[in-house]
Amino acid sequence: MKKDLIYRKRYLDIVRPFIGKNLIKVFTGQRRVGKSYLLFQVMQELKIINHQVSILYINKEDLAYSQIKIAQELVDWVKSEKKCGQKNYVFIDEIQEITDFELALRSLLLDEELDLYCTGSNAHLLSRDIAGALSGRAIEINVHSLSYAEFLEFMQLEDSDKALSQFLKYGGLPYLKYLPLQDNIVFEYLRNIYSTIAVRDIVNRYALRNVGFLEQLTQFLASNIGNLFSAKSISDFLKSQRISTSSTQVQNYAEYLANAFLIHKVKRYDIEGKRFFEIGEKYYFEDLGLRNALVGYRVQDRGKLLENCIFNHLQIAGYEVSIGGLDSQEIDFIAEKNGERIYVQATLTINEEKTLAREFGNLLKIQDNYPKYVVTMDEFDGNTVDGVACLSLRQFLSMLS
């Protein structure tokens, strides 16, 4: 059992009502966002309730469990290790490494003495199985990099401009807690994490041959956070740079990056027509530190990082996020949860009159009464503009949690 756990309350609050219930609890997310530690935290809670509780743990990244490769071997191992006549809590880390794992989970779920938990690092694989073979039998809990509040707690920092700058530069992978926050150390660590994701979760899983193109596409998306694209427009741009590719290949490779939770593709929503546009989307990185490790932390990218940071915060807070289209204007984010909605515009500064008019003006054109925010790097504490609130990024990151 881990000794130095920092509890991530949001995820524990989600899973706690399902402990002991006949449902598979599946933690999904990018590698190294802390899924394994959430398993340990659930184990810790069980130990507090009953220190003699029966816990079975399999870590597929540990060679000690290398013999468990297929569904039947997983079922056999659990059946041989369980204690009969009582509840057994089964935790399986990186379950996608076991062939036909969903068949094993379905079989194990029939045993009322078992309570099942697992983690996985591939969205396509797990979402397909949860929606199909495990439909109605599983709850999926998507785990993200640290929020800004968690980053402050993990790094033992006070909320400040400097701390926010470190968060925007280094991102929120929990292991940063053990590293000095220095560029050469952190970015070397993050580049190795990216290589692991690229090789294990993308190249090997999809048997990709054009590894060079995967790298070029990732670099392109990292440099163009928040830009509106289609697969064809990306393909056309890359061709202009003498990188020959098709829009189908772009679409497939971008999907692979998203399936590994490295990036998120966000669709555009027509506010007046109340429908999603068929083409045009934006891409954001799950972790800003990984993005910066790939293309550098540059002053000219501050606006992109601001926008990506807002998107990540909305996702962590449990919102479904889309890009808004209103006539020829753009609303940076429409965020929906529990039948409610908020609108958010991102801008580095509101000091210029034309910027102020554009960002607030776009929101004021929306004919509804949902909350509307302009989020900026400027510090501001004052009145709204006709009901549209202006918040600094630090203020916004303290909301919605």
Instruction: Give the DSSP H/E element, type plus range, for residue 117.
Output: strand 114-120
Is the residue at 40 inside a domain?
yes
Task: Give me the mean pLDDT over the 352-375 stretch.
Answer: 91
Is the residue at 3 inside a domain?
no
β-partners of residue 392 are 376
List b or e across 142-173, with b for residues whose CB sees 16 or more CB atoms inside 10 angstroms. Answer: bbbbbbbebbbebbeeeeeeebbebbbbbbbb
β-partners of residue 333 are 344
Q: Tell me, yes or no, whether 27 and 163 share the same domain.
A: no
Backbone angles phi, psi at 47, to 5 degrees: -65, -35
Domain boundary among 126, 142, 158: 142
Is the residue at 2 inside a domain?
no
Which tens digit of pLDDT belongs to each residue from 306-315? 999 999 999 9
The pLDDT, as a whole number, for residue 278 is 76
- For the entire predicted model, the pTM comes to 0.94
Is the residue at 385 inside a domain?
yes
Q: Tell me, yes or no, whether 296 and 231 share the same domain.
A: yes
- Locate all alpha helices (DSSP H) within 226-372, ordered by sequence: 231-240, 247-259, 288-295, 302-316, 353-364
127: domain CATH number is 3.40.50.300
The pLDDT, as a whole number, for residue 3 is 66
Q: Tell me, yes or no, whether 62 and 193 share the same domain.
A: no
Torsional sign, CA 350, 354, 357, 363: negative
The pLDDT, as a whole number, for residue 352 is 82
Q: Tell me, yes or no, whether 128 and 174 share the same domain.
A: no
The pLDDT, as a whole number, for residue 126 is 73
Helical pair 231-240 and 211-223, crossing angle rounded to 10 deg: 100
Question: Does residue 216 carry a pLDDT above 70?
Answer: yes
Domain boundary among 142, 167, 185: 142
The pLDDT, as a whole number, for residue 238 is 84
Is the residue at 71 inside a domain?
yes
- In 3D, which of 217, 206, 271, 276 has the Cα closest to residue 241? 217
Which tens digit of pLDDT belongs to each residue from 325-353? 887 788 999 999 999 999 999 999 988 88
Give me the sheet containing 88-93, strands edge to edge: 54-59, 88-93, 114-120, 24-28, 138-142
Q: Tell me, yes or no, whether 190 and 115 share the same domain.
A: no
d(CA 54, CA 164) in angstroms, rounded, equals 42
Task: Give me the mean pLDDT over the 255-276 stretch.
Answer: 91
Q: Tell me, yes or no, whether 284 and 361 share the same domain.
A: yes
Counting every residue, how long is the chain? 401
Show the domain range for 70: 9-142
Domain boundary among 102, 123, 142: 142
Is the residue at 361 inside a domain?
yes
The pLDDT, as a whole number, for residue 401 is 58
Q: Tell me, yes or no, whether 39 and 102 share the same domain.
A: yes
β-partners of residue 119 are 27
Is the residue at 212 inside a domain?
yes
Q: Tell me, yes or no, whether 217 and 353 share the same domain.
A: yes
Q: Tell me, yes or no, whether 131 and 160 share the same domain.
A: no
As for how many domains the chain has, the answer is: 2
Which tens digit of pLDDT belongs to each residue from 116-133? 999 998 877 777 767 677
Is the residue at 29 inside a domain?
yes
Q: Which residues contact 147 (CB under 8 A, 6 or more apart)?
A: 10, 172, 312, 313, 316, 397, 401
Token pair 């569904």 is found at 71
Q: Tell me, yes or no, whether 34 and 84 share the same domain.
A: yes
The pLDDT, as a whole number, for residue 133 is 77
Q: Tell me, yes or no, whether 154 and 283 share the same domain.
A: yes
Q: To the nearest 10°, the Cα dihedral for 56, 59, 60, 66?
A: -70
Q: Tell me, yes or no, whether 172 and 308 share the same domain.
A: yes
